[in-house]
Amino acid sequence: NAGVTQTPKFQVLKTGQSMTLQCAQDMNHNSMYWYRQDPGMGLRLIYYSASEGTTDKGEVPNGYNVSRLNKREFSLRLESAAPSQTSVYFCASSSDGFSGNTIYFGEGSWLTVV
Amino acid sequence: SQQGEEDPQALSIQEGENATMNCSYKTSINNLQWYRQNSGRGLVHLILIRSNEREKHSGRLRVTLDTSKKSSSLLITASRAADTASYFCATAKTGSARQLTFGSGTQLTVLP
């Protein structure tokens, strides 16, 4: 019962460094998402992918890039990390968008940029 | 900007009492969902209510939706210490169903 698996769990980066957060789901879902969660602000959508081969910007896409590698995997890349990107990042998936389907979340990746 | 806003921000009750959390939103929605997050963990889906529904039950959970007031409430009956968590409402806007917008959450503490 793996569900949504994301790595790494914790990461400390220096300003300007790059890194990729990996996410994989084993539920054969079409849609995948990346959110960030900051204290007192709830979750904000960074990017999403409605199906393999497609990606779209969410509410806060600046400073990030994504790749939907295949149906299972959806990665988030920070090309040049900034302290403002210190946050908890959640990957999620659903069978077909938000129109009535449950979204399943990973356990989160804690990223600190110093 | 936050589409959904929960109220109160924090709630502390005794085990066995009922807990009520409210959510207000700004635009027309396709559906509204409630999620739970234990400290240091991911979010877990609790219940979804569609815009044409007024009330929904799931175990000890009762959700209401008033589209005229653009508000929803989550009631947890007979609370347990294990219900201690943050609770978030999330809305799927009409016409933008792929963009689920979360509120900032209610931190519920159930004291044993």
- Per residue in A37-82, pLDDT (tens digit) is 998 778 999 999 988 889 999 989 999 999 998 999 999 999 999 9
When CB atoms are compared, the residue of B33, B41, B98 closest to A107 is B41
When CB atoms are compared, the residue of B45, B97, B99 closest to A102 is B45
Q: Is B40 on the interface with A (CB under 8 A)?
A: yes
What residues of chain A lie within 8 A of the CB of B30, using their CB? 98-100
With the C-alpha atoms ordered A97, A91, B19, A39, is the resulting torsion angle positive or negative?
Answer: negative
Question: In terms of pLDDT, which residue wins out, B102 or B85?
Answer: B85
Q: Is B31 on the interface with A (CB under 8 A)?
A: yes
Identify the burial level of B37 via C-beta atoms within 10 angstroms of its C-beta, where 0-12 means exposed, 13-18 middle and 19 or more buried: buried
Per-residue pLDDT, B2: 47
What residues of chain B lie within 8 A of the CB of A99, using their CB? 30-31, 92, 97
Report the alpha-carbon distance of residue A16 to residue A13 in Å, rounded: 8
